[in-house]
Amino acid sequence: MNSDESWIAPVALTVNAPKETEVETSLLSASPVVLPISGERREDAALGHEFKIPSTPRMARGMYGWFQDRGAIGFILGGLLWLAGIFLEETYLFLWERFHQHWALGIFFFVVAGTTLVAAALLITGEIRGFSSLRRAENLRLDIQRMWERRGHGHAVGVALRLRETMVGDAECESDWKNFNNLVRSHYDDHEVLELLSRTVYGRLDARGYRLIVKHATTMAVASAMSPMIGLNGLFFLWQNLRMIRSIACCYGIHPGGMASLYLTREVLLGTFMVGTTDLVVDRVSDVVGGHAASLVLAQAGKGVANGLFTARIGLAAMNRCRLVPFHAGGEPSLERIRVELFNSLGGSK
Amino acid sequence: MWHVPGIKHDSLGILANEALKSVEDLLYLAMDRRIRLAVTGLNQAGKTVFITSLIHQLLQGARLGGLPFFRVVAEGRYQGAKIVLQPNMEIASFRYDQFIQSLMGDPPAWPRATDGLSEIRLALRFRPSGLLRGHLMSGTTIHLDIIDYPGEWLLDLPLLGQGYCQWSREVLALCEQEPRRSLAQSWLDHLSGEDPLQDADEGRIRQASRLFTEFLVRCKEAPVGLSFLQPGRFLIPGDLKDTPLLTFCPLRCTVESMKEGSMLQVMSERFESYKELVVRRFYRDHFSRFDRQIVLVDVLKGLNRGPENFGDMSRSLKSIMKNFDYGRSSLLGRMFQPKIDRLLFAATKSDHVAANQHGNMERLLERMVMDQVNDVSFYGVKVESMAIASIVSTETVVQEHQGRRLSFVRGRPKGRQEEVLLFPGEIPETIPKPEAWKKERFNFLEFEPAGSDWNDQTSLPHLRLDWALDFLLGDKLT
């Protein structure tokens, strides 16, 4: 019960205010707005206050987070700038000497150095963009998770706008957004808006995710079955899974760069091993035992199936990690579905 | 053609039909393809509107995107529904067509208060969800049975566990407190001049009964609007009006003081007859074989009418729920003695407050029914509570008021011609203390249906009916 001081007496007014549905519809078709999701208390949000409470603690962000939390990022950046300065100075001296030797030699090395610098700058910019995309997504995911659990009201539509921003240009998703727009109601709480989003727009993204997993798992299974070398097999496994995780991330609107993909892969693998250890062990044991049994008959094929299923398991963990909106009840990804699709596609490829 | 002497062919045909229907019913039960849904609620809780809206959504709304959170619909497995012949021929049919016409009429109107028993059976067709079953079977049908009845009758069920003297003591004890005390004054004055042990006289019995009935009617009427009013048939007598079954009232008594031929004994006999012939039959025929239950609670009415009414509503709910069988049913149990294994508490008419208050409404309801939830959860029953509106008649609107951004509702209040924009106030998360019921602190208005743009091509707007359906029926439609 709110205290007497904050109590507002019931009141009736003339009818001239905009409908909340109209406001939301216009928001959905206009440019995105960022709502104050973190730090707004539900009870006061009802009264239109912006009451700050401590934000949700962010999840551990690995070394990057460790440095950032301790203010060491400036130190690292300073060190990098210092190294870059030395590199530029050395390059300048090197080019100076080459120009002194012969102008053509100088121009050649100038072009080589310039190209290298531009490529490095582009690479670094891409990586920074990748990391910031990952970080934005991570923050958004945490906010969404909080809204999902707290069942507040009036914030989720703003989040939907931000999510829509990540899917601009996706013609297939447009119809899903329209469907979502038609179904969403002003009285839905945040959980309901997000669940509707999960069932409509994210349903299609999930289907794409499954297709990606099946594709990569099938490739992995076939390649393992055909490959005679264990080492080569291992390398291919790593490469294939990296590509799959990155593709799944892109499918859910996250665009990580090369390093960010590695970071994401680490997170996914952690998720695979930590979140579903028991499940994984059971899956792995049964799959390997199955693989061994099969290997008595078709050794290579059994190994391929086992590796394919393991890739699929990683793919599911990647879906769990990259999907910003939680899975609605009954929509959770399952190995069973992948398993069936994998066997189907293997059957089809024979 | 065979012939049994003494029995007409017609009778044999009816018997055969009945037997076939019973076998069919048993088969449906054994296959878990029949659901009897108990729509429970006190008077004016919104049972009829709920049933009407539920039927409408299953018949029409599902096709028009009106049930996005009902899993079988969201997954595209729902194939449709239709009204089929009801199982009991002696009960009136639920007049869905009339109610929907009234809601979509010009001007639209809520269905009138229920004054009798009615029943409806819906056949729901869907594609099973399992990989194998989904491929092998094109569709499965499930029957949904619902009955509608006056909420007042529900409060008779607790009488089954009481004797006349115990009941009398309870009623008289309640009449010692306001608001009952002043409302019962004329009846109590009459009783004080009566000796329960004097010889029975039909005229005096009738007079006492009439005064008691008038007292009950006063308790039920606004603005008092109490809920815990027994016997319910005194308020809605149906075809029992003026019969001796409804001509009695509580008296001060003890079992030992019962004297042959006295007023007390006659009243006691009539009470017992009422229990056996009216209440037990009603219970046996309609209330003993449910699989799922939804309890509709008009929380806003309770808040509007003050702490006494709120307490009365809680007491009524508690008392009603003791009469249902809760627990998990085995295959045989499902066929011969089904139990309620899912129970939903729904705060109705939640569209009368702004959307940001629904969470509070749910939490308040949870507090109200906490004891009952504990009781039934012990038997493995799945329980949920939610704020719903069977038919939405308002819109949530955001408006600046005195420098604050408030969530209003826009709609046409009952009895008015023009729409108003109303900030209905806040709903407490917990049961307020009596002193918190300040004057006009809780003044939630009722609204007329906003049906100007409702027609055959639209689905009636609702609030979380799809969640309710998913909880109550979802697992049977897989």
Full DSSP string of A143-184: HHHHHHHH--SSSHHHHHHHHHHTTTT-HHHHHHHHHHHHH-
Task: Decide which of A274 and A166 is more confident.
Answer: A166
Whether B428 sits inside 8 A of A199 (CB atoms) is no
**Can you spell out the DSSP letters for A295-345?**
HHHHHHHHHHHHHHHHHHHHHHHHHHHH-SSPPPTT----HHHHHHHHHHH
Tokens of B129: 């969800």
- The mean predicted confidence, pLDDT, of chain A is 71
The residue behind tokens 């934000």 is A55
Stated length of chain A = 350
Three-class SS of residue A222? helix
CB contacts < 8 A (A, B): 120
Contacts (Cβ under 8 Å, ≥6 apart) of B163: B255
B422 close contact with A: CB closer than 8 A: yes
Cβ distance A12 to B422 less than 8 Å, yes or no, reads yes
pLDDT per position as a tens digit, A278-313: 344 444 545 554 545 545 445 666 777 777 878 888
Higher pLDDT, A43 or B438: B438
Peptide bond into B108 cis (omega under 30): no
Q: Which residues pair with residue B346 across a beta bridge? A: B296, B386
- pLDDT, residue B344, reads 93
Q: Check CB contact of B354 with chain A, cutoff 8 Å.
A: yes
Q: Rounded to a whole number, what is the distance in Å from the CA of A33 to chain B's nearest CA?
A: 18
Among residues B365, B339, B380, B338, the alpha carbon closest in space to that of B427 is found at B365
Q: What tokens were used for A152?
A: 């507040």
Cα–Cα distance measured from residue B263 to residue B276, given in angstroms and rounded to the nearest whole number: 20
From the list B359, B429, B461, which residue is nearest A1 (CB)? Answer: B429
Cβ contact A187–B392 (<8 Å): yes
pLDDT at A55: 41
Average pLDDT over all residues of chain B: 84
pLDDT tens, A110-161? 999 899 889 988 888 888 887 787 788 888 888 898 888 877 777 888 888 8
Contact flag A20-B420 (C-beta cutoff 8 Å): no
Q: How many CA atoms lie within 13 A of B10 on its CB side?
A: 0
Over its C-alpha atoms, chain A yields an Rg (Å, rounded) of: 26
B357–A contact, CB cutoff 8 A: yes
- Supply the DSSP string of B396-439, one letter for each residue: EEEEEETTEEEEEEEE-BTT-SS-EEEE--PPPSSPPPGGG--T
Residues B346, B388 contacting (CB under 8 angstroms): yes
Q: Given A10, A19, A195, which is nearest B425 (Cβ)?
A: A10
CA distance B152 to B303: 20
Q: What is the pLDDT of residues A68-108, one digit of tens each?
A: 555 666 777 888 889 888 888 888 999 999 899 888 999 99
Reduced 3-state DSSP string for B373-392: HHHHHCCCCEEEEEECECCC
Best of B350, B352, B398, B462 to disrupt the A interface by mutation (most A CBs within 10 Å)?
B398
Q: If you ran DSSP here, which 8-state letter would residue B279 be given?
A: I
Q: Is B397–A20 a contact, with Cβ atoms under 8 angstroms apart? A: yes
Among B426, B427, B475, most A C-beta atoms within 10 A, so best to mutate, is B426
Residue A212 distance to chain B (closest CA, Å): 22
Are B286 and B37 in contact by the 8 Å Cβ rule? The answer is no
Q: What is the mean predicted confidence (pLDDT) over B45-56?
A: 93
Pick A318 or B259 by higher pLDDT: A318
Alpha-carbon gap, residue B150 to B147, rounded angstroms = 10
Chain A 325-344, residues with CB within 8 Å of chain B CB atoms: 329-330, 340
- Phi (first) and psi of residue B36, to 5 degrees: -105, 115
Nearest by Cα to B31 from B137, B148, B146: B137
Q: What distance in Å separates the CA atoms of residue A158 and residue A45, rounded to the nearest whole number?
A: 14
A153 to B359: CB separation less than 8 angstroms, yes or no: yes
How would you classify residue B399: left for phi > 0, otherwise alpha for psi between -120 and 50, otherwise beta?
Answer: beta
pLDDT at A42 over 60: no
Read off the pTM. Answer: 0.76
Measured between CB atoms, does B355 come within 8 Å of chain A? yes
Q: Nearest CA to CA, how far is B430 from chain A (Å)?
A: 6
Across-strand partners of B409?
A: B396, B422
In whole angstroms, give the CA distance from residue B429 to residue B346.
Answer: 15
Task: Calculate the CA A38 to chain-centre distance.
Answer: 20
The answer to whether A27 contacts chain B (CB < 8 Å) is no
Residue B284 phi, psi dihedral angles, 5° rounding = -65, -45
- Tokens 């300073």, located at residue: A78
**What secondary structure letter does DSSP report for B200?**
P
The tally of CA atoms less than 13 A away on the side-chain side of residue A154 is 28
Neighboring chain A residues of B407 at a CB cutoff of 8 Å: 20, 46
pLDDT digits (tens, 9 = 90+) for A262-271: 777 776 776 5
A201: pLDDT strictly greater than 80:
yes
